[in-house]
Amino acid sequence: MIRITFLIILLISAFGFSQKKELRKAQKLFTEGKVDESFKMLEENDALFDNADDKTLSSYSLLLAKIARSNSEFQKAFEFLSAIKDSPSIKSDVSLELNQLTNDIINSAIKDNENKEFVASAKKLFLAYSISPETNSDYLYYAASAGVNAKDYDLALEYYLMLEKIKYQGIVTKYYVTEVESENEIEVQRSEYDLYKKTKQYKNFREEQTESKFPEIVKNIALIYAQKGDNEKAFGAIKMARQENPSDINLILTEANIYIELDEKEKFGQLMSEAIAMDPNNGNLYYNLGVVTRDLGDISLAREYYEKAIELDPTLENAYLNLVSLILEGESLIVEEMNNLGTSRAENARYDVLKKKREDLYRECIPILVKIIDIDKNKEAIRTLMNIYGTLGDTDGFKSMKALLEE
């Protein structure tokens, strides 16, 4: 019995020695950059490690993780490392490899983003977050942004909801110094900031914290829900977002956009008025309010809004176009009355009055259309002005617009 036991011990020792010998060979090949050969050796001797001790098995898994990382098989590498992260014999080595894996994943995600492969980038960023959720939450935020860039709103929503759950803030401290010689203020790294304090070349040291990203996250959740047609959840998200940041005008506009999708124009108008009170010099707000006011039937007020929009932003092409459309709406009633007139002297006199009234509408539109054409040579504006010149008998004007249209 003693001999048999001794023999078993010898066999186990020899088996263990063989495991470590093959593992060292594979590690050497990997170190030499022969990644495929290293993996092949491990693959051929896979059965050899079935009964390996914890230390050897951990080293074996660590090498497999390194090989997977080298082959950009990041998920597989993470799985190998996750299985051995608590192994006491190589805990520090696993930690170093996780850091290297994270760096490689981020670099690969950046390349994907540059190549506009946004979904691939988003998933890699999420994997980087998963490696250490406590310290890598920024990567989850970037993953959500990449999902939006990919227009994969389901993926983006998944990540944004996770950010909402952990109440991600994304607040960063920025460091600024002023160069004594040039008087220019520059942003520096924290390590540089502390170092420059010891020199006489810099002054006016200051720190500044960025705003929380949480309101933006909740706003994006609302926008995605609204786009998916889930208005109840969208309004719930907006309510939360406005509680977090009541002065964010974009949240008001987001809520307004949902109401316009629901064809609730009065509520839209109320919110737009609220937005204008917060940003009274924003021409786009007045333009949008003009559109809705027109749909609600208040032509006079709609015109005021369009004119105010143009006053604040003279380049708002659509405001000019809608103003022309608004003015020409009066033409249909004039034409209808003209067509219903008879041939009596009084009716002929009335016809002349209506004709002049119609021509006055056209003349009122001419400078507005000219302005649109000056901004962008808008084809619709050119065609409308050409027809107006034709109706008014302005041959030169008609020809100039026709030539412009044919360019």
CB 58 within 8 A of CB 84: yes
pLDDT at 48: 66
Count CB neighbours of 329 within 10 A.
12
96 — pLDDT class (breaks 50, 70, 90): very high
Which one is predicted more confidently, 31 or 52? 31
Residue 65's pLDDT is 93
Confidence at residue 12, expressed as pLDDT on a 0 to 100 scale: 41
- The answer to whether residue 244 scores a pLDDT higher than 80 is no
Percentage of the chain lying above the pLDDT 70 cut: 94
CATH number belonging to domain 17-115: 1.25.40
Place of tokens 């143009």: 310
Rounded to whole angstroms, the Cα distance separating 130 from 136 reads 8
Q: Which residue ranges make up each domain of the chain?
A: 17-115, 173-209, 315-407
Query: Which neighbouring-strand residues pair with 185?
Result: 178
The mean per-residue pLDDT over the stretch 376-386 comes to: 90
Q: In the chain, what is the greatest distance between 2 CA atoms, to the nearest angstrom?
A: 138
For 190, phi then psi, to 5°, come to -60, -40
Closest CA to 211 of 245, 162, 166: 245
Average pLDDT of the chain is 88
Give me the pLDDT at residue 1, please: 39
Residue found by looking up tokens 């041959």 in the block: 395
